[in-house]
């Protein structure tokens, strides 16, 4: 329970910072106004990670702050998300709990190799998904600080917002010196026949029963994570991706390694260079997915994870002259739009769509606006994890990007069977990789595919962010026996790049 509270505190603000007002009144809190010309110093539209963090920090500096979120209750259709945003409600938190649940069958399958007899995976109770998904909803935002209003907001000018209360339907207009748009993103579904039968990462948490057969469409981390989850829980999964290889933008070795591990150790049917033409519903409620070549796959659910778009449709951005790029809002390094009084953070800006990044953006914005600090955003060396099986943890440049940027790099990597899997003789392998800039010997990239890669790479990310060199890694004593010690024991490069060209040995390298 302690760990649950700790995680929630990182994503959702502490209750001491907020006053909850589902039905809004126009009375002002006791917090002083930085500017008496407006109702609020900061009005935040969207109660996700970035908006909540920005409002809490601003309030801590003494600013008069209001935050608008259309739903305060969890899981209400059609919004699905509520206060806390996608991550807490229909994203990383409930998904991670599903990841934990999905990995037990693999653990049990190796038990015989350690002397345990008669252990079997059993059958998963899908009703537990509902319980897992409600773990993080039971919090109340209270006590003076930020005024939280259950409502939607529509811009009416550069310093004014029309508020539409969810519960009462009442509409009023308020003014703010600064307006922050933090409405997040929404799953994208293409316009194909039968797309109305497909679900997304929103609805999967609320399915009444576990599908026996599922088609997952997409090649990003969301598609791969849910394919791994459902496979681990016992669903027959087909993954369809229109490209040659999934996880575009990640290091190529990690992409290839994950493909091999999935092909060897999962029941997922991988179909590359395959796209959906239409989805047909049969009389018994089952679905048929038809690809562009006319092949058909029968299933119970189709999950689309083909990207996300910004939720800007109802913001009336044009009334304030806010520029957009597609469904996203471009901003500068201080999260400011082209309108000086209007800012945006999080997924709606299409920078890095990760919860910790949105937290950083919101925090730094309030530091700058109300804390007297100069804090532009920092998107360099952001660590991330793909919660597949095995996990992929990554920070810094991929091999391909590092070669293009630095020209001369040294690449260290090793593929091996981790001790845990060696004893029961499982065909499960790990891959560790370091990218080093030759000139400075700075480690500019770390990519790991193994059990617990996310936990491992978080610590490595600190060193890389601080500018650690390969000598620093080499001078660090490893923890034995662990897989992580591989990061400080890889002594010789596997190969090199010189002037952007790959070479196996230095004596054949093209010198600068």
> In sequence order, which residues have a C-beta less than 8 Å from that of residue 349 and are 6 or more positions away?
310, 328, 329, 330, 331, 335, 361
Count Cβ atoms below 10 Å from residue 173 Cβ, excluding itself.
12
Q: Are 253 and 261 in contact (CB under 8 A)?
A: no
HSE at residue 46, side-chain half, CA atoms within 13 A, is 30
HSE at residue 92, side-chain half, CA atoms within 13 A, is 17
Cα gap 72→332, rounded to integer Å: 31
Query: For residue 394, what is the enclosing H or E element?
Result: strand 391-396
Closest among 481, 434, 452, 445 to 390, alpha carbons compared: 452
HSE at residue 184, side-chain half, CA atoms within 13 A, is 28
What ranges make up the beta strands (E) of 300-341? 301-304, 308-310
Phi and psi at 257, nearest 5°, equal: -65, -45
Question: Is 480 an active-site residue?
Answer: yes
Q: Are 279 and 195 in contact (CB under 8 A)?
A: yes
Token output for 201: 């990462």
Residues 28, 164, 447, 480: which is the catalytic one?
480
**β-pairing, 308-310 with 287-291?**
unpaired
Cα gap 166→149, rounded to integer Å: 9
Cα gap 58→426, rounded to integer Å: 52
In angstroms and rounded to an integer, the radius of gyration of the C-alpha atoms of the chain is 25
Buried b (16+ CB within 10 A) or exposed e, 71-98: bbebbeeebbbbbbbbbbbbbbbbbbbb
Q: Which residues are catalytic?
A: 480
């Amino acid at each position: 329970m302690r760990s649950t509270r700790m995680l929630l505190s990182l994503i959702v603000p502490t209750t001491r910072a907020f006053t909850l007002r589902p039905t809004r009144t126009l009375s002002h809190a006791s917090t002083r106004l930085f500017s008496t010309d407006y109702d609020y110093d900061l009005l935040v539209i969207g109660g996700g990670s970035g908006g909540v963090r920005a409002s809490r920090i601003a309030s801590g500096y003494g600013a008069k702050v209001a935050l608008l979120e259309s739903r305060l209750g969890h899981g209400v259709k059609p919004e699905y998300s509520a206060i806390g945003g996608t991550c807490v409600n229909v994203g990383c938190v409930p998904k991670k709990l599903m990841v934990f649940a999905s990995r037990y069958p693999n653990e049990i399958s190796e038990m015989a190799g350690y002397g345990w007899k008669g252990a079997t995976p059993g059958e998963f109770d899908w009703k537990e998904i509902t319980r897992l998904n409600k773990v993080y909803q039971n919090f109340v935002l209270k006590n003076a600080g930020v005024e939280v209003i259950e409502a939607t907001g529509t811009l009416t000018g550069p310093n004014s917002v029309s508020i539409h209360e969810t519960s009462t339907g009442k509409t009023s207009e308020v003014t703010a010196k600064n307006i922050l748009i933090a409405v997040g993103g929404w799953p994208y579904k293409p316009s194909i026949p039968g797309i109305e039968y497909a679900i997304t990462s929103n609805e999967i948490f609320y399915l009444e029963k576990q599908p026996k057969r599922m088609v997952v469409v997409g090649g990003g981390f969301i598609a791969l994570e849910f394919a791994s989850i459902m496979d681990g829980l016992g669903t027959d999964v087909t993954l369809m991706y229109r490209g040659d290889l999934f996880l575009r933008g990640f290091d190529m070795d990690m992409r290839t390694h994950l493909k091999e591990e999935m092909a060897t150790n999962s029941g997922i049917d991988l179909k590359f260079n395959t796209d959906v033409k239409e989805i047909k519903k049969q009389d018994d409620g089952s679905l048929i997915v038809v690809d562009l070549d006319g092949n058909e796959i029968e299933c119970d659910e189709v999950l689309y994870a083909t990207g996300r778009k910004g939720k800007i449709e109802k913001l009336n951005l044009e009334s304030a002259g806010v520029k957009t790029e597609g469904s996203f809002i471009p901003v500068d390094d201080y999260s400011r739009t082209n309108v000086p009084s209007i800012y945006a953070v999080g997924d709606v800006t299409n920078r890095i769509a990760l919860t910790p990044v949105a937290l950083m953006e919101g925090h730094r914005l309030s530091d700058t606006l109300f804390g007297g600090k100069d804090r532009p955003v920092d998107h360099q060396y952001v660590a991330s994890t793909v919660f597949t099986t095995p996990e992929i943890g990554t920070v810094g440049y991929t091999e391909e990007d590092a070669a293009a940027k630095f020209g001369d790099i040294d690449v260290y990597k090793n593929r091996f069977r981790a001790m845990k899997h060696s004893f029961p003789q499982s065909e499960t392998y790990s891959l560790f990789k370091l990218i080093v800039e030759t000139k400075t010997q700075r480690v500019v990239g770390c990519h790991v595919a193994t059990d617990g890669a996310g936990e491992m790479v978080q610590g490595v990310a600190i060193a890389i962010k601080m500018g650690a060199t390969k000598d620093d890694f080499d001078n660090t004593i490893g923890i034995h026996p662990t897989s992580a010690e591989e990061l400080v024991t890889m002594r010789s490069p596997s190969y090199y790049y010189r002037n952007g060209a790959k070479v196996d040995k230095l004596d054949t390298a093209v010198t600068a």
